[in-house]
Structure 1
Amino acid sequence: MLVIDSPSELREAIKQLKQQGKAISFIPTMGNLHSGHIELVKQGQKVAPITVVSIFVNPMQFNNADDLNNYPKTLKADCQALQAAGVDIVFTPSSEVIYPNGLAAQTYVEVPGLSDCLEGELRPGHFRGMSTIVNKLFNLVQPDYACFGEKDFQQLAIVKQMVADMAMPIEIIPVATVREASGLAMSSRNNKLSEEEKLTAPLLAKVMNKLGDDVINNTTQHSLLIHDACRELETGGFDTDAIHIVDVSTLQAVTSETKQAVILMAAFLGATRLIDNKVVTLN
């Protein structure tokens, strides 16, 4: 496995692989890897003989300096896990390499509409930062395929739209959320939970699944259903941040034309913000 931190070295390695006619799958990450990330790798390996993973904690998508500074960095363990998984190249650039002129002078990419709603309202600038770094990494890696987890549903939707709008010859492969045995969606943030909080955390998925059943059976009273879900979460120890039921394609309000809706959950357990989502087909 090659570990590369220089864009020029990465470009040369990619150039040689392309000359050999080898397709490339790509998984962008911010490190602190868990089994969900390894599942992304496995899906990438199914479609291409070469797998590239990036590890870069992107300062542009953090609107809280403390969150950026406190983001766990486990590069050695991450590389060991990726080598065991059979990854071919790991790209580990520094922020100075990615943004040599600083963030203020950096050209950015923004997907209108999809980036402005939901999480975009709660975290201004987050999706601009995400779109920009993904675009830059796509330019460096030149992948044929890129794998993204469905747990970050809005992120996945934005990346798919960006690729379509920019006519990138990349197939985006959605990968189903990997869950703990308890039903809790795997996330690097789960490491921040106390032992007591880890016992409470599966309630988020439980409430979400119940809400999904209720939405299928009652397609019009969404505000009441959300109210009940918030109350159940808060009774169980969560502080609800946001619950949305939106059209799966537009991420806007469900209409009579909506065939599928997505339930987007975000709630704090102590100081840790957990997210999850579920797609439901409406009758």
Structure 2
Amino acid sequence: MKILRSIPELKAYREKLVDSVGFVPTMGFLHDGHLSLVRQSKADCDHSIVSIFVNPPQFGPNEDFNSYPRDIDHDLAMLDAAGADAAFLPSVDEMYPEGADTFVVPGKIAERLEGAVRPGHFRGVATVVLKLFNLIQAQKAYFGQKDAQQVAVLKKMVADLNVTVELVVMPIIREKDGLAMSSRNTYLSPEERQAATVLYRSLKFGESLISAGEQHADVVKQKMIDFISADKLARIDYVSIADQASLEEQTIIGKPALISLAVRIGRTRLIDNSVV
């Protein structure tokens, strides 16, 4: 596996590639969810490039940029074993040289849910992803469904800005007890780790209410809130039932609908979702 640390190195490597290229953007501290994206890229494309970059502009002033888990050596070993052809590991200065002040500002789809709780988050996400798309010029880029709003924001950006890349969205990879795999799960104490399953259990509870015929979104959301609130370690940021494409909240549940939630377990903020 080729390790590339600068933009000139990446460009020189990319110029030599023929046939199709798949791209997997990550922030590192990889798990099986990330590797599922790499494996799909390998299956679909002739060459697969993975980026590892913890992107400062998508973190708020009181968020965990400095403490975000990092283990580059372990990440590279996992990528090599998964068959990635190249890993791009730029520095912050490489991606944002002095004087850089142009950003991508997403529209209304980025103002809801995560965007409302984390102002500026998707501005940072959209900017770095577009920069990476421009540098790597992949035919396909792979993202996980766990970050459902990120997927929706990036799909809108690609369509609105005529970016010539196909976004491939892969299913959420879960632990045996249903907890969605996330780099931030490492923050959880053993007691918190057990409590964190309330996210998945509440999603399944919401799905069951809808399957049983409940069509009123507010009723399902309130019952899910009550379900989560019964756990003493859980604090809810939001529970949403929205149109999957626009993320506008639904009154009467239509399909496809995205049930999504953000819950703090202790000091750790976790997100999850399902589509009905």
User: TM-score under structure 2 normalisation?
Assistant: 0.96
- Partners of 1:203 and 1:136 in 2: how far apart? 36
Aligned residues: CA RMSD? 1.5
What secondary structure does 1:22 align onto? coil
Separation of aligned partners in 1, 2:174 and 2:253 = 31
Q: Distance in 2 between matches of 1:42 and 1:24?
A: 13
1:209-252 deviation line (CA, Å, top 9, x unaligned): 11122134445432232122112212123111100000112110
Among residues 134, 146, 159, which one is paired with 1:164 in the alignment? 159
Q: Deviation at 1:65?
A: 5.0
Larger displacement relative to structure 2 (42-51 or 129-138) = 42-51
Structure 1 residue runs of 4 or more that deviate by more than 3 Å after TM superposition: 216-220, 255-258
| 1:151 aligned counterpart, secondary structure | coil
Report % sequence identity: 40
Matched residue, 1:36: 33
What's the CA shift string for 1:172-218, capped at 9, x where partnerless?
A: 10000000000110000111111111122112101111112213444
1:228 corresponds in structure 2 to 223
1:136 matched to 2:127: no
Match of 1:252 in 2: 248
Identify the match of residue 96 of structure 1 among 74, 77, 93: 93
Residues in 1 aligned to 2:58 and 2:10: alpha-carbon distance in whole angstroms: 23
* Residue 189 (str. 1) matches residue 184 (str. 2): yes
Distance 1:35 1:98 in 2: 27
Instruction: State the alpha-carbon separation in 1 of the partners of residues 61 and 229 from structure 2.
Output: 25
Query: Whole-Å Cα distance in 1 between the matches of residues 252 and 177 of structure 2?
Result: 35
Q: How many residues align?
A: 275
Deviation string for 1:110-154 (max 9, x for gaps)?
A: 221111111111100000000000000001111010000000000
Q: Does 1:264 align with 2:260?
A: yes
Q: Secondary structure at the match of 1:114?
A: helix
What CA distance in whole angstroms lies between the structure 1 residues aligned with 2:154 and 2:67? 26
Match of 2:237 in 1: 241
The letter of the residue matching 1:160 is K
Q: Does the residue aligned with 1:45 lie in a helix, a strand or coil?
A: helix
Counterpart of 1:107?
Answer: 102
2:258/2:273 contact within 8 Å kept = yes
* Residue ranges of structure 2 left out of the alignment (5+ in a row): none
The equivalent residue for 1:176 is 171
> Which TM-score applies when normalising by structure 1?
0.93
2:274 maps to 1:278 = yes
CA distances 1:67-106 after superposition (whole Å, capped 9, x unpaired): 111111111110011011111110000001110025xx42
Q: Does 1:86 align with 2:83?
A: yes
- Distance, in Å, in 2 between the alignment partners of 1:235 and 1:131 is 36
Structure 1 range deviating more: 228-237 or 136-145: 228-237
Amino acid at match of 1:109: V
What is the CA–CA distance in structure 1 between the aligned matches of 2:6 and 2:97, rounded to whole Å?
12
Question: Given residue 270 of structure 1, which amino acid in structure 2 is its aligned partner?
Answer: G
Q: CA deviation at 1:266?
A: 0.7
